[in-house]
Amino acid sequence: MKTLDKIKKLLNLSSNNSNLEESQSALLKAQELMIKNNINQQEIVDYSTEKSIKDISKDIVYNQKRHPWYIKIIAYIVSKNFKILYYYQRNNSSKNIIFYGYHQDVNIAHIVFNDILEKIKYYLLPLKKRYKRYINKGNYNTDKNSFIKGYLDGIKQKFDTQVSDNNWGLIIQVDKIVQKEYDSFITVGKSYVSKSKYSLTNKLYQDGFEKGVKYTSNQIAIQQKQD
């Protein structure tokens, strides 16, 4: 009962807090407790109204005219570990990656998606500076793609190990209601992983992989084990 009360308080804090950082922190902590204690959203539905918990929402997490090959891979990794689905939508001026699921889960998944993107940009800065003096753009692209591929493979392995070690296989599955609603309105543009082909530099791939398996963030409480 104490755990349920704590989760309810965190969810109330996240919903009624004007400070974005504090709101996100409360959301992530609530999600961590729910997963670790095998508590589903129906069990805490009375913390507010049923609509605020069970409402399914969608959120555009990436909107650009052109998408790098790794964007769909990030969306895939996040969707498999944060209880949401995603789909691909094209309009006249841009292409969208959209997360779909319960509001709380979509919020957290969006935070993780952005965090991974920001870390990729950060890690690529030294490589970008190194190649700034060179004309051979092909070599830069090969090294850049090698690092990103290794980094994402490393993150995927970390998540897979985390799920296996904590027996979270069933806990992180998408809710049946979310899956049913998703299947009912999505007829085209469902999620898939990019199959882009590119050459790899082993050293850069390994560097990325080693950083990926150590992936953590102070924004992702779900990855932090408590004593």
Residue 96 token pair:
């969208």
What pLDDT digit, counting tens, does each position of 85-122 carry? Answer: 999 888 888 899 999 998 878 988 898 899 999 999 99
Cβ atoms of 7 and 33 closer than 8 Å: yes
The arithmetic mean of pLDDT across residues 173-198, rounded, is 72
Instruction: Say what angle helices 137-166 and 71-81 make with each other, to 10 degrees.
Output: 10
Q: Sign (positive/negative) of CA torsion 148, 132, 137, 204?
A: negative
Tell me the domain boundaries of the chain: 1-54, 55-223
**pLDDT for position 54:** 59
Residue 127 token pair:
């490589």
**Cα–Cα distances in angstroms (integers) from residue 215 to residues 74, 140, 152, 223, in the given order:** 13, 24, 10, 9
Residue among 104, 8, 15, 17 at smallest CA distance from 56:
104
**Comparing 24 with 78, which gets the higher pLDDT?**
78
Residue 22 token pair:
């504090």
pTM of the model: 0.73
* β-pair type (85-90, 56-64): unpaired
**pLDDT for position 155:** 95
What pLDDT digit, counting tens, does each position of 189-226 carry? Answer: 555 555 556 678 899 999 999 999 998 754 444 333 33
**Mean pLDDT score across all residues of the chain:** 78
Q: Looking at the DSSP assignment, which residues form a beta bridge with residue 86? A: 99
**Comparing 69 with 108, which gets the higher pLDDT?**
69
d(CA 158, CA 57): 28
Residue among 55, 67, 57, 103 at smallest CA distance from 192:
67
**pLDDT for position 96:** 93
The arithmetic mean of pLDDT across residues 178-182, rounded, is 88
Q: Which amino acid is at 25?
A: S
What pLDDT digit, counting tens, does each position of 33-68 carry? Answer: 777 777 666 565 544 444 344 579 999 999 999 999
Query: In what side-by-side order are the strands of the sheet with 95-102?
Result: 56-64, 95-102, 85-90
The arithmetic mean of pLDDT across residues 152-166, rounded, is 89
**Cα–Cα distances in angstroms (integers) from residue 182 to residues 85, 187, 192, in the given order:** 8, 9, 15
